[in-house]
Structure 1
Amino acid sequence: MGDKHTDRAFIGSFTSSGGRGIVVAAVEPATGALTEIGVIDAVPDPSYLTVDHAEAGAVLYAVSETAQGAVVAYDIAGPEPRRIAVPRAVQGEAPTHLSVVRGHLLTANYGSGSVTVLPLGPDGSPGAASDVRHCEGSGPDRARQSGPHAHQVLPDPSGRWVLSVDLGTDKVSIFSLDTQAGTLTLHAETSLRPGTGPRHLAFHPSGSHAYVLGELKPTVIVCRWDAAGGVLEPVRTTPLFPNGTDEAVSPSAPVVSPDGRHLWAAVRGTDTITVLALDAAGEHAEPVASVPCGGRWPRDLALHPSGTRLYAANERSGDVTWLDADPATGIPHRAGSLSIPAASSVVFA
């Protein structure tokens, strides 16, 4: 895949919809342009990815979003990604998200409504599941909320807590992680407005607030976050479309700018990115613009580590578009695209 591997993007896709696996692309530093340099085809439907920079080096993790959910790990410290171990079962259905937390890999399993913990070896390889926490409950949307659907699991900025966002139960669960036993203990639950269908959340750079994106109701729920007590408190709800919309919309991914001034939310259906201005405290989010994402059905939205460029993984148009964000207004402008069939997520290393 070439000698240069200091700035690469890894793009997940749905092989069941024509994707080719994980596409590896070089990132041109000045323009952010992507150039495909290789493909990793090891598991079906590697829809969501994450990169961990640990003592073992840079490791790429991918879910296999299938009925027999699994994860797989790759050493990406060198120019050629190298699979570390065979895919490991998560004992859950359709994992949609994963995060590394204090030496453990955690997955949110949408199909089974559960969260799985897998301890990581010294080389970054995931071991057998040490815990599977099944969520309980339902919501008013009978088609989408007949049971729990864990959609995201991630650590809080302090690293002390694990948060799970459940679309099916309209809840965010807060866990403590026992790193010796590899088990989760439920600490608290935050209930959101019934029918919200929370999908993902993103933290303010200060760590004082979190922004929960509703998939079933196109809203951003601004929450105060108390890392000392592990308390998530909703304080206000902001519609992504204050004047309404005639489209059937499905928000997907929130991203906060490194300076804490802007929040971006990708919206499927309208195929747009909503730009929200945040106040100095991070407690108010005001929609200021909505711009085309550059493709159809933006399943994921990622921010380049430089903090100035957004990448939308457009599942139905089969491409990844990059957009330059104005640092003053936060409004992104399309700069280019790369064809990636059934694109689903983007991460950088």
Structure 2
Amino acid sequence: MARELLIGTYTETLPHVDGHAEGVLSASFDGTAVSDVAVAARVTNPSWVAVAPGDAAGSVSVYAVSETEPDGRVVAFARAADGALTELGSASSGGASPAHLVVHPERRLLVTGTYGSGTVSVYALGSDGSLGERTAFIQHEGRGPDPDRQEGPHVHQLSIDPVTGDVVVVDLGLGEVRWYRLSDAGSLALRPGATVVIGSAGPRHLAFHPDGAHALLVNELDSSIDVLRREGDRFVRVQSTTTRADGATGDNAPAAVCVTASGTTVLASNRGDDTIAVFAFDPDDSRLTLVASVPVGGRSPRDLVIAPDGDRVLAACQDSDEVTVFAFDEPTRTLTPLGASPVPTPVRLVFV
């Protein structure tokens, strides 16, 4: 059965990317290839896209960042059953270069963070999915150990703790993962004792394990991945290991991490090595073991996504303008390349 995709992209040439897409893209995935790629909405640098359930008529809400300076935007859309996106409005992201946003799974709230300014904002959402008032604004302060990449705060990712409902903020610039309590009204309060200090490794993206007791954190600056384990009301860092194959040399920067529904396999993308790192995960021992390093077939893989049926993995290869597709056999943790589909400057992949 064909499935529908939305794809976040870059539309401009920036210091870190030669963007030449035209906005948020829509596409179809038949299990082997991505096809029918079209412009769904013209947005400048919509590098991250999120989808939230909509109404009984089949409409869903779609949100995108507009990664611009000196002030970025957050844009809301309604997506009709035929796939058409209708803009519902936009709001300031609260700083430069918003990198991420997340929709709360149970409350009408949207959280976004800016890489350039190191801010976190929460917005109320209307019954139609539109953006309402900003209910919280946090400005991170300080710097991390790396004088070049951690000269100030750089919020790179946000997620919702599946157990507590806290907002989890990955700040690459500070080298920290912070937990904020989120009220029903949308205010944020830092839980200082819950902060996990990662330091010069440069935390980038976090994925919760299905058991809720673990989280996997990929670090951009030293090509590592960490196991965080829930102990009481906080997480502790219990393992750190490389995302690179033995003998790999040259520059490398991991980008994305994802966990299979069974929780026994973890995947991470490597930009530079241009590989997918495949890990076995033992939740009883809270331990990752690298079992394979698979060439991604393109350049600079950003997002990785496991298809809803669990037997396909897609990689957004930003610098080679393609999405590569793999058959995935979880019992053997084997990724078999099925091909590549042309897509301009793909960054984010999300199934609708």
TM range (shorter): over 0.9
1:14 and 2:10 matched: yes
Give CA deviations for 1:35-60 in whole Å, capped at 9, x if unaligned: 12521233200001111114474211
Q: Which moved further from structure 2: 153-162 or 292-301?
A: 153-162
**Is the partner of 1:128 in helix, strand or coil?**
strand
**Is the partner of 2:5 in helix, strand or coil?**
strand
1:217 Cα shift? Answer: 0.9
Q: Distance between the aligned counterparts of 2:53 and 2:216, measured in 1? A: 25
Q: How does 1:226-245 map to 2 (within 5 A)?
A: 226=231, 229=233, 231-241=234-244, 243-245=246-248
Kept in 2, the 8 Å contact 1:91–1:129? The answer is no
Q: How does 1:95-244 map to 2 (within 5 A)?
A: 95-101=98-104, 102-158=107-163, 160-180=165-185, 182-188=186-192, 189-226=194-231, 229=233, 231-241=234-244, 243-244=246-247
Q: Distance between the aligned counterparts of 1:244 and 1:126, measured in 2? A: 49
Kept in 2, the 8 Å contact 1:204–1:282? The answer is no
Q: Distance between the aligned counterparts of 1:282 and 1:333, measured in 2? A: 29
Match of 2:16 in 1: none
Q: How does 1:332-343 map to 2 (within 5 A)?
A: 332-343=335-346
**Is the partner of 2:201 in helix, strand or coil?**
coil
Change (3 A) 1:282 1:209: farther
Give CA deviations for 1:92-138 in whole Å, capped at 9, x if unaligned: 21111110112111112111011111110000111232221111221
For structure 2, the 5+ residue unaligned runs are: 13-18
Q: Distance between the aligned counterparts of 1:339 and 1:83, measured in 2? A: 25
Q: 1:312 aligns with which of 293, 315, 340?
A: 315
Change (3 A) 1:305 1:246: same
Kept in 2, the 8 Å contact 1:52–1:59? The answer is yes
Give CA deviations for 1:236-290 in whole Å, capped at 9, x if unaligned: 1112236352120000000101111110000000100000111142610000110
Q: Which moved further from structure 2: 240-249 or 160-169?
A: 240-249
Q: Distance between the aligned counterparts of 1:77 and 1:261, measured in 2? A: 36
1:76 and 2:79 matched: yes
Kept in 2, the 8 Å contact 1:21–1:43? The answer is yes
Q: Distance between the aligned counterparts of 1:135 and 1:280, measured in 2? A: 33
Kept in 2, the 8 Å contact 1:72–1:86? The answer is yes
For structure 1, the 5+ residue unaligned runs are: none
1:50 and 2:50 matched: yes
RMSD over aligned Cα atoms: 1.8
Q: Distance between the aligned counterparts of 2:198 and 2:9, measured in 1? A: 32
**Is the partner of 1:85 in helix, strand or coil?**
strand
Q: Which moved further from structure 2: 233-242 or 16-25?
A: 233-242
Q: How does 1:240-255 map to 2 (within 5 A)?
A: 240-241=243-244, 243-255=246-258
1:171 Cα shift? Answer: 0.5
Kept in 1, the 8 Å contact 2:22–2:43? The answer is no
Q: Which moved further from structure 2: 300-309 or 146-155?
A: 300-309
Match of 2:88 in 1: 85
**Is the partner of 1:195 in helix, strand or coil?**
helix
Kept in 1, the 8 Å contact 2:323–2:343? The answer is yes
1:190 Cα shift? Answer: 2.6
Give CA deviations for 1:76-97 in whole Å, capped at 9, x if unaligned: 2411323241222122211111
Change (3 A) 1:234 1:329: same
Change (3 A) 1:32 1:50: farther
Q: Distance between the aligned counterparts of 1:74 and 1:258, measured in 2? A: 29
Change (3 A) 1:319 1:132: same
Kept in 2, the 8 Å contact 1:190–1:233? The answer is no
1:32 Cα shift? Answer: 4.0
**What is the one-letter code of the residue matched to 1:224?**
R
Question: What TM-score, normalized to structure 2?
Answer: 0.92
**Is the partner of 2:200 in helix, strand or coil?**
coil
1:267 and 2:263 matched: no
**Is the partner of 1:338 in helix, strand or coil?**
strand
Q: Distance between the aligned counterparts of 1:121 and 1:311, measured in 2? A: 32
Match of 2:15 in 1: none
